[in-house]
Structure 1
Amino acid sequence: MSRSSDAWSSIPLASLAAALPALATLTPPSAQAAQYLSIEQAQKAAFPEADRFEARVLRPTPEQQRALDALAPVRQRGEVRQIEAWAGTQRLGTLYVDDVIGKVEWITYALALGPDGSVRNLEILEYRETHGFEVRTPSWRKQFAGHKADAPLHFG
């Protein structure tokens, strides 16, 4: 037997087991994709009173993409799902499902707007980052409720 294996064999098993939680903090977290909601679940969460949804895919032209990039310099995939929510003949609002780059990885989110353009609901559908899990907390997402595009957001 080598000297290194002799050294490990002299450590009591209980001491090694007690040290495992501390050792785990020394290893960096691995990236794990987590899907929290499907698009259908996000639709129902945003518009529980809806009796139907009409979906289509929006693909911006290169000119529109440049205009979007000038407004929000966050990388996007260039395709947005637009889902109109209806209760009978009344349009309740629109749910937009998009992918945006986080710090490193893609994040899929759903933003629900009421007919007046105010934020009704925001859901994180799929999160692939290793940090920033706060976006899944209700308090973080609720800060956008009622917000309109013409009013600046204030953080902190």
Structure 2
Amino acid sequence: MNTTTKAWTTTPLVALVSAGLPALYPPSVQAAASMSPEQAAHAAFPEADRFDARSLRLSSEQLHGLDAVAPVRQRGEVRLFEAWAGSRLLGTLYIDDVIGKVEWVTYALALGADGSVRSLEILEYRETHGFEVRTPSWRRQFSGRRVDTPFRFGEDIKNISGATLSCAHLTAGVQRLMALHTQLAKTSAR
């Protein structure tokens, strides 16, 4: 066999095999953090002069009660930042995780002192598709929402094709946090 022919016949084979490898082994996806919880707190409440941070471990009773509001898989621990301007409470920023499709999505929900949504930020999105939930236009749909005025995914909150589960689960997560906020406000008023 001629060495020229041998080189000619194996080179395309190597090229074809190596060209197909990326399709067989897609690149791993790294979680992309857009901002820290502290940055989200400052962005949501720029007029605040201090933040009181704490973690809240939800009891099984609380989790069960919140499941009735919107059943979505959550971790069961919520971090919160109360925003203050002097002695006046401006609102609370909640940091939570919901499952997207298969990976956790970390998000921040800012509620004003009146309980209405000030902002929604996606802090860390780990899914391979559906990054559009980070767009301001999708997140703005939550602004001004209140716990006493129900909203539904697919009707009041629009879907993003390719990110249906992430959109639905984030909507349910927002509803749960708003209900939790209401529960905490009732508890502290006693």
Regarding TM over 0.5, the answer is yes
Match of 2:187 in 1: none
Q: Which amino acid aligns with 1:92?
A: L
Gapped regions of structure 1 (runs ≥ 5)? none
Q: Following the alignment from structure 2 to structure 1, what is the Cα–Cα distance between the partners of residues 67 and 29?
A: 27
Correspondence 1:46-125 to 2 at 5 A: 46-125=44-123
The Cα shift of 1:69 comes to 1.9
Match of 1:5 in 2: 10
**Local SS of the residue matching 2:41:** helix
Given that residues 29 and 130 in structure 1 are in contact (C-alpha distance below 8 angstroms), is that contact kept between their aligned partners in structure 2? no
Q: Deviations over 1:101-138 (max 9, x none)?
A: 11110010000000110000110011101111111111
Given that residues 75 and 97 in structure 2 are in contact (C-alpha distance below 8 angstroms), is that contact kept between their aligned partners in structure 1? yes
Match of 2:157 in 1: 155
Q: 1:34 to 1:152 in 2, by over 3 A?
A: same
Correspondence 1:15-54 to 2 at 5 A: 28=26, 30-54=28-52
Q: 1:6 to 1:134 in 2, by over 3 A?
A: closer
Q: What is the percentage of aligned positions where both structures have the same residue?
A: 66
**Local SS of the residue matching 1:76:** coil
TM, length-normalised to structure 1:
0.83
The Cα shift of 1:65 comes to 1.1
TM, length-normalised to structure 2:
0.69
The Cα shift of 1:27 comes to 7.0
1:132 corresponds to which of 130, 135, 139: 130
Q: Deviations over 1:11-44 (max 9, x none)?
A: 9xxxx9xxx8xx9789756432111110111011
**Local SS of the residue matching 1:85:** strand
Given that residues 142 and 157 in structure 2 are in contact (C-alpha distance below 8 angstroms), is that contact kept between their aligned partners in structure 1? no
Q: Following the alignment from structure 2 to structure 1, what is the Cα–Cα distance between the partners of residues 147 and 24?
A: 43
Indicate the structure with greater helix content: 2
Q: Following the alignment from structure 2 to structure 1, what is the Cα–Cα distance between the partners of residues 141 and 62?
A: 28
Q: Which amino acid aligns with 1:5?
A: T
Q: Which amino acid aligns with 1:76?
A: Q
Q: 1:132 to 1:7 in 2, by over 3 A?
A: closer
